[in-house]
Amino acid sequence: MDLPRLILAEERRPGKVPSGVLLAAALKQRGYRLRLFVAGGDEGTLRLAECLCGQRCSYLDPVLCGSGGALRSLFQAGADPEALNLVLAPLGSRSGDDAPFLVHPETRELASLLGGGLVPVFCADTSAMVAARTVEEVARQLESAPEVSILGTLFLSVPFPREYQLLDRDLGRRLPWMGLGYVPRELERPEPSLGDLCNPEVLPRTLIPLRTAAAHLQSLEDQIQWPLFGALARVGCAWEPEPPLEPLFSRPRVAVLRHPGLSLSGEGPELLLQALGCSLLDIPLAGGAIPRECDAAYLPHGLGFLALVQFLENRELIQSLGQILLSGRGLLAEGGGAPLLGEQILLPSGKGARGASLFSLKGIYREPRPGSQTRLFVRARAQGPLLGEGESLRGVASKGVFLSGADPQGGDWEVREDPVGAPTGMEGWSLNRAVVTRLRLELWSCPLPVRRWLLGRGNA
């Protein structure tokens, strides 16, 4: 089978909207059919891509998936043979002006696992000489990974056309990479806060300058070689299919609670549920309830405090969640969605609030701060509804989210920052077949436990 795919690996600039997101939105406006993926786990990039392109997006992380096969299965589940499957990834970083530019090893591994082509996107906001040096440093590092195919280059923050012409001519003599053009400096935009991107009251006006920039970008015919994106995605687009997961004969029905404040899990968990044969039913947090015929419910990760008022006002929804809990049906609440089910909640403002009181837990919300994610490795210390004793999964510590039970040492899972290191804490609480955790879980790292959890047997 063929899966046209392209990795845009961008030299990120702190505080600026990733240009890969603007390029994706511009491609969508130009009529490209897209499927979107975000590498590196950046929640702001995922949310921006979903909002500007009007479609779902999945995280791709080789470390969190646990194996190359699991990552390829996730990509395969979310990809479309008739679309441009675009992966937005970080290229690397430089610790100082004179320090070497280091390519992210995860991006290089991702390119190796997915095959297809990679387009490095470089920042050229200083001078052609500095930008050319960065390109050569990246080229030397990627030479050690012959399985990574570099198809072209793109430049950001170019001050004026003459600077790009000098840069393109100089690199054309040194490297056999095709120039795809440049994004003018005037289209740079400050990156909105995650809170603004998840708050339905301010989101529309937050997106106005970004939509304007994307519309301006897609109108530039001379600066960017737009037809090359689709053409390069089909270079080496053959795909060796991964074995599909065996769907459940019972075809479970899973209710997924929806709210803009709970929009940071990505599409990956839902792709796994669908691959296992589940049918998904969207339930608005503000005005819906879970039907009795649903076999399980899923509360995604996000900035749960933005959804708290509407959640508490929807007594019918809380009652239906309680019925799921008491009837022994499956319930999974992860990340920033989990504190909503507890008894007490401390908000970022310092004020206290009550939760749904379905779990004897106290939750704390703080405003999430930019920074790298912390990957965590989880191992169950006893039989539970999701993981059997000794089974493991992987996830990410949710920024600004804390959960604690009556027992400070409580929790079903041991958490490690290194898979072979000593435990650094406990995580995960369960009741019947319900599981809550402050982690954003990578369910593709444990498809068999998820399958058994849906069946309601094998672990508990």
CATH number at residue 397: 3.40.50.880
Please compute the mean of the pLDDT values over residues 113-132 and round it to a whole number: 84
pLDDT at residue number 458: 43
Query: What does the alpha-carbon distance between residue 61 and residue 42 come to, in Å, rounded to a whole number?
Result: 11
| 100, part of any domain | yes
Contact (Cβ atoms closer than 8 angstroms) between residue 325 and residue 434: yes
Within a 10 A sphere around the Cβ of 191, how many other Cβ atoms?
20
| 175, part of any domain | yes
Query: Which of 334, 446, 296, 319 is closest to 379 using CA atoms?
Result: 446
| 118, part of any domain | yes
Contact (Cβ atoms closer than 8 angstroms) between residue 156 and residue 182: yes
Q: Does residue 109 share a domain with residue 43?
A: yes
Query: Which of 336, 340, 325 is closest to 368 using CA atoms?
Result: 336
Tell me the longest C-alpha to C-alpha distance in the chain. Answer: 69
pLDDT category at 172 given cuts 50, 70, 90 is confident
The per-residue pLDDT of the chain, averaged, comes to 92
| 248, part of any domain | no
pLDDT at residue number 287: 86
pLDDT at residue number 372: 76
Q: Does residue 66 share a domain with residue 20?
A: yes
352-354/392-397 β-pairing? unpaired
Radius of gyration over every alpha carbon of the chain, rounded to an integer in angstroms: 23
Residue finishing a domain among 233, 266, 281: 233
Q: Which of 75-79, 338-342, 368-372 is predicted with the least confidence, judged by mean pLDDT? A: 368-372
| 323, part of any domain | yes
Query: What does the alpha-carbon distance between residue 156 and residue 8 come to, in Å, rounded to a whole number?
Result: 12
Residue finishing a domain among 233, 261, 278: 233
Q: Does residue 303 share a domain with residue 156?
A: no
The residues with which 60 forms a beta bridge, in sequence order, are 39
Q: Is 186 helix (H, G, I), strand (E, B) or coil?
A: helix
Query: What does the alpha-carbon distance between residue 294 and residue 269 come to, in Å, rounded to a whole number?
Result: 17
Q: Is 41 helix (H, G, I), strand (E, B) or coil?
A: coil
117-123/152-158 β-pairing? parallel
Could you report the per-residue pLDDT of 217-256, keeping only the tens digit for each? Answer: 999 998 999 999 999 999 888 999 999 999 999 999 999 9
| 74, part of any domain | yes
Query: Which of 220, 191, 226, 195 is closest to 52 using CA atoms?
Result: 191
Q: What is the number of H-type helices and E-type strands within the chain?
A: 14, 25
Q: Does residue 330 share a domain with residue 215?
A: no
Please compute the mean of the pLDDT values over residues 411-437 and round it to a whole number: 92
Q: Does residue 297 share a domain with residue 163?
A: no
Query: What does the alpha-carbon distance between residue 347 and residue 343 come to, in Å, rounded to a whole number?
Result: 13
Q: Does residue 13 share a domain with residue 109?
A: yes
Decide if pLDDT at 406 tops 70.
no
Please tell me what DSSP assigns to residue 442: E
Could you report the per-residue pLDDT of 436-460, keeping only the tens digit for each? Answer: 999 999 999 999 999 999 998 544 3
Burial class (CB in 10 A: 0-12, 13-18, 19+), 274: middle
Could you report the per-residue pLDDT of 249-294, keeping only the tens digit for each? Answer: 999 999 999 999 999 999 999 999 999 999 999 999 988 899 999 9
Q: Does residue 356 share a domain with residue 260?
A: yes
Query: What does the alpha-carbon distance between residue 153 and residue 131 come to, in Å, rounded to a whole number?
Result: 12
* Helix, strand, coil in percent for the chain, rounding step 5: 35, 25, 40
pLDDT at residue number 460: 39
Please compute the mean of the pLDDT values over residues 149-170 and round it to a whole number: 85
Q: Is 45 helix (H, G, I), strand (E, B) or coil?
A: helix
In degrees and rounded to multiples of 5, residue 28 shows phi and psi of -65, -40
Within a 10 A sphere around the Cβ of 448, how many other Cβ atoms?
11
Structural domain total, the chain: 2
pTM: 0.95
Please compute the mean of the pLDDT values over residues 373-381 and round it to a whole number: 94
pLDDT at residue number 269: 98
Query: Which of 307, 400, 403, 404 is closest to 348 using CA atoms?
Result: 400
Decide if pLDDT at 385 tops 80.
yes
Query: Which of 107, 109, 119, 127 is closest to 153 using CA atoms?
Result: 119
Query: Which of 337, 161, 210 is closest to 263 using CA atoms?
Result: 337
pLDDT at residue number 370: 77
pLDDT category at 144 given cuts 50, 70, 90 is confident
| 307, part of any domain | yes
Q: Does residue 18 share a domain with residue 74?
A: yes
Query: What does the alpha-carbon distance between residue 374 and residue 395 come to, in Å, rounded to a whole number?
Result: 9
Q: Does residue 271 share a domain with residue 168?
A: no
Please tell me what DSSP assigns to residue 188: -
Query: What does the alpha-carbon distance between residue 81 and residue 98 come to, in Å, rounded to a whole number?
Result: 43
Could you report the per-residue pLDDT of 61-84, keeping only the tens digit for each? Answer: 999 999 999 999 999 999 999 999
Q: Does residue 263 share a domain with residue 187?
A: no
Q: Does residue 227 share a domain with residue 113?
A: yes
Could you report the per-residue pLDDT of 52-61, keeping only the tens digit for each? Answer: 999 999 999 9
Query: What does the alpha-carbon distance between residue 330 and residue 336 come to, in Å, rounded to a whole number?
Result: 19
| 342, part of any domain | yes
CATH number at residue 106: 3.40.50.300
Q: Does residue 367 share a domain with residue 222?
A: no
Query: What does the alpha-carbon distance between residue 277 and residue 292 come to, in Å, rounded to a whole number?
Result: 19
Residue 101's domain comprises 5-233
Query: Which of 223, 300, 210, 307 is closest to 263 using CA atoms?
Result: 300
pLDDT at residue number 301: 98
Query: What does the alpha-carbon distance between residue 24 and residue 210 come to, in Å, rounded to a whole number?
Result: 12
